[in-house]
Amino acid sequence: MQLSLFHSKSPVSNPANLHLAEKIRSVLGPRLPRAAVEDVVEQIVKNPISLKVVRQRTSKSGDFRAAHKNEPSRITVNGNLNPYAFLITLVHELAHHHVNLDFIQAQKKFSLRRKTRPLPHGKEWKDKFGLLMAPYLNQDVFPVDILPVLIHYLENPKASSSADHHLSKALKQHDPPDATIRLEALPFDAVFTLHEKKTFQKKEKIRTRYRCVCLNTNRVYLVSAGAPVIPL
C-alpha cells in the first residue's frame, strides 16, 4: 500500500491538501493510535513524502531513502507493527526526512564552507526525532506501560527502537498473540526459527545480540535479544 506524497508549499487547508489529508487518514488511520492520527496527518501534509506500508521484514521495521535521480524521497514502514510501534517507527523515519530537508536548504545558502551531511542517527536526527514525537507523549496516545519507557528512550534514542531492551519489551506486550517469544528467553543451544524460514541455534550473548548459527548453512548471525522467534 503506497501514498505518493510530494512537497507542497500550499496551506494545509487548500483543496489539494485536504484531499491529501483524507488519503493519509484512510491508509494510516487504522494502523495508528486513534489520538495520534490528526497530528500525523498534519506532519505529513506539511512535508509530504512518498510513503509505503510493506510486508514484515526481519532486518528492519522501517527505512528512509533520500531522493535520487528521478525518484522522490521515500519512507517504508512494516505493516505488521502494532499501532504504538508503527507510530514510533513512522516518526523515526519522518525525522530522517526532516533532517534531509534541512540539509538541502542549508546547501542552498551561500557559504565558503562545504556543508557536511549529518550522521544518520547523529545529534540532528536525535533532536528532530524528539521534536516530532513531542505531540504524542501523553496517555491519550500511549498506554501507561509504554509512555515512561518511551520518554526515557527519547533522551538518547538509538538507531532502532528494537535495540532498546526496555522499549522493545514494552511494545511487544501490545502485539497480537502468536507463537513467538523473545530470543533472550530461550536457553543456550536452543533451536528456533525466524518467521518460519531458516533454523538457528542460539549461542553466547555479545552485547545486545546473540551469536546464532544457521543450521541450514552453518553461517553465523548476530540476532537482537528481543527478536521474535519460534522455538523448535
Asked if 150 and 65 sit in the same domain, the reply is yes
Report whether 168 contacts 184 (CB < 8 A). Answer: no
Question: How many Å apart are CA 191 and CA 188, to the nearest integer?
Answer: 9
Q: Name the packing angle between helices 165-172 and 83-108 (round to 10°).
A: 130
User: pLDDT tens digits for 144-189?
Assistant: 999 999 999 999 998 888 778 899 889 989 998 888 888 999 999 9
Question: How many Å apart are CA 31 and CA 63, to the nearest integer?
Answer: 17
Question: How many Å apart are CA 152 and CA 34, to the nearest integer?
Answer: 23
Instruction: Read off φ and ψ for residue 62, nearest 5 degrees.
Output: -165, 165
Q: Which pLDDT value is given to residue 115?
A: 75
End-to-end CA gap in the chain: 34
Asked if 57 and 15 sit in the same domain, the reply is yes
Asked if 149 and 211 sit in the same domain, the reply is no
Asked if 154 and 94 sit in the same domain, the reply is yes
Asked if 82 and 195 sit in the same domain, the reply is no
C-alpha cell at 120: 544518520
Asked if 168 and 187 sit in the same domain, the reply is no
Question: How many Å apart are CA 186 and CA 192, to the nearest integer?
Answer: 9
For the domain that residue 223 is a member of, what is the CATH number?
2.30.30
- State the residue range of the domain holding 210: 181-231
Q: Which pLDDT value is given to residue 93?
A: 96
Q: Which pLDDT value is given to residue 4?
A: 47
Asked if 61 and 96 sit in the same domain, the reply is yes
Asked which of 172, 195, 215 is the last residue of a domain, the reply is 172
Mean pLDDT on 126-135 = 96
Q: How many domains does the chain have?
A: 2
Asked if 224 and 164 sit in the same domain, the reply is no
Q: Which pLDDT value is given to residue 3?
A: 53
User: pLDDT tens digits for 31-55?
Assistant: 999 999 999 999 999 888 899 999 8
Mean pLDDT on 215-222 = 93
Q: Which pLDDT value is given to residue 2?
A: 52
Instruction: Look at residue 117 and tell me whether its pLDDT is greater than 70.
Output: yes
